[in-house]
Amino acid sequence: MKIALVSPYDFTWPGGVTAHISQLGNQLVVMGHEVKILAPFSPSRLENPGLNFVPLGRSLPIPTGGSIARISLSAWLYRKVRSLLRQERFDVIHLHEPLTPYLPLAVLQCSESVNVGTFHAFHGNTRMYRWSSPLLQRWFKRLDGRIAVSGAALSHVERFFPHDYTIIPNGVDLGFFAADADPVPELRDDKINILFVGRLEKRKGLRYLLDAYGRLKWDFPNTRLIIVGPGNPDRYCYRILAERSLQDVVFAGAVDYAMLPRYYRTADIFCSPATGKESFGIVLLEAMAAGKPIVASDIEGYSSVVSHEEQGVLVPPRDGEALAEGLARLIRSRRLRQRMGAKGRDTVNAYGWKTVALRVVDFYRDTIERTNGSKSAGTRKTPAP
């Protein structure tokens, strides 16, 4: 099949949706399909884009959902998109966050292909969809198939856009994260390493992890906290660091993707204290693939991936004391760490990209068959001019 994967988000910046698209695209190519990725971009960050990447529109940073979404609002995209789609004649156009302005909407408006949409987001509230859903219905109706990555994502979208959805989860590169990578040498000694991976945004909950670590450090001086991810700590994080004079906190910053397995290999415990608005938790899959036990917030997007007392420990969000207690249990017991890490490795096999991509391709074929049947019956929507 000839497939277009469409991202509303700048493909030159790291993020969960763009990582999903990139890895899905790679697996589809391995399976023998022809793939192009359509996405906004930042010219200053565009290096070696590859033959399958089509940059469409420069991005602007827009605050949303406790994060920053880098999307394109270029009105001139419509004409360029229409020309591209007529030239390429894709069998399937797979739009990720298909109702996010502006690129997915332009693609949907111009598309004469079979359109599949994957909904990733879970914002915890429905304010945005509440006011925008009447405006977006015309584009939503142009979707022939609809996927949600989790129950949380499904509940977020179906309230205002009711329809049939299929849940197909995010995937993880099992071989990449399970590889026998070399630990980071300067961080591999007799200390117990607690690892955080994520953007340093408020909703990722770093302040609560620092609070928990501050409570732990006195009783467990032989611990270290490693923080991997782009961004800068907020003022609450700096205050905790200063007031408690925390030692052995390592800010690694944004590391190259190829380095991530080395940080997971270096870790003894993985911790993700996000406060909410997480539809899934790809970092949890990465940690499980690396065989690491997890301490994470008991939020909807995470509890669909990690079961309490199996792959890890789930604690109430925004609770530094509970987070500290969960971490302390794993610090005390090497056997518990090993048991939960092994359970995670068994569980994550169902999320390997080969398995997930096969499900996506099956969904494409079912949608094509159903859509062509509707078209033959005269019920297919009229293509946009």
Domain ranges of the chain: 2-171+352-376, 174-348
pLDDT for 380 beyond 90: no
Instruction: Tell me what percent of the residues of the chain surpass a pLDDT of 90.
Output: 74
pLDDT for 155 beyond 60: yes
Please determine, looking at this structure, whether the domain spanning 174-348 carries the CATH number 3.40.605.10. no
Q: Which has more pLDDT, 385 or 290? A: 290
pLDDT single digits (tens) 164-178: 999 999 999 999 999
pLDDT single digits (tens) 312-344: 999 999 999 999 999 999 999 999 999 999 999
Q: How high is the pLDDT of residue 37?
A: 96
Tell me how far CA of residue 76 lies from CA of 57, 135, 247, 279, 383, in angstroms: 9, 20, 52, 32, 20
Q: Which has more pLDDT, 112 or 133? A: 112
* Beta strand pairing call for 60-64 and 67-71: antiparallel
Could you tell me the two tokens for 340?
Answer: 């939960």
Pick the CATH number of 2-171+352-376 from 3.30.559.10, 3.40.50.1100, 3.40.50.2000, 3.40.50.1010: 3.40.50.2000
Q: Write down the residue that tokens 């117990």 correspond to.
A: 192
pLDDT for 58 beyond 90: no
Q: How high is the pLDDT of residue 129?
A: 63
124: Cβ–Cβ under 8 A, 6 or more apart, which residues? 276, 277
DSSP 216: H
pLDDT single digits (tens) 352-372: 999 999 999 999 999 999 998
Q: How high is the pLDDT of residue 136?
A: 92
d(CA 162, CA 179): 42
CA atoms within 13 A on the CB side of 64: 16
d(CA 231, CA 341): 29
pLDDT single digits (tens) 78-127: 999 999 999 999 999 999 999 998 999 999 999 999 999 999 987 544 55
Q: How high is the pLDDT of residue 73?
A: 84
Read off the pLDDT of each residue in 371-376 and give the average, rounded to a whole number: 70
SS3 134: helix
pLDDT for 161 beyond 70: yes
Q: How high is the pLDDT of residue 76?
A: 81
Asked if 92 contacts 3 with a C-beta cutoff of 8 angstroms, the reply is: yes
d(CA 99, CA 105): 6
First to last CA, the chain: 24
Read off the pLDDT of each residue in 247-270 and give the average, rounded to a whole number: 96
User: Same CATH topology for 2-171+352-376 and 174-348?
Assistant: yes
Q: How high is the pLDDT of residue 322?
A: 98
pLDDT for 381 beyond 50: no
pLDDT for 65 beyond 70: no
**Mean pLDDT of all residues belonging to the chain:** 91
Read off the pLDDT of each residue in 52-66 and give the average, rounded to a whole number: 82
Q: How high is the pLDDT of residue 126?
A: 53
Tell me how far CA of residue 57 lies from CA of 43, 102, 136, 367, in angstroms: 10, 9, 21, 29
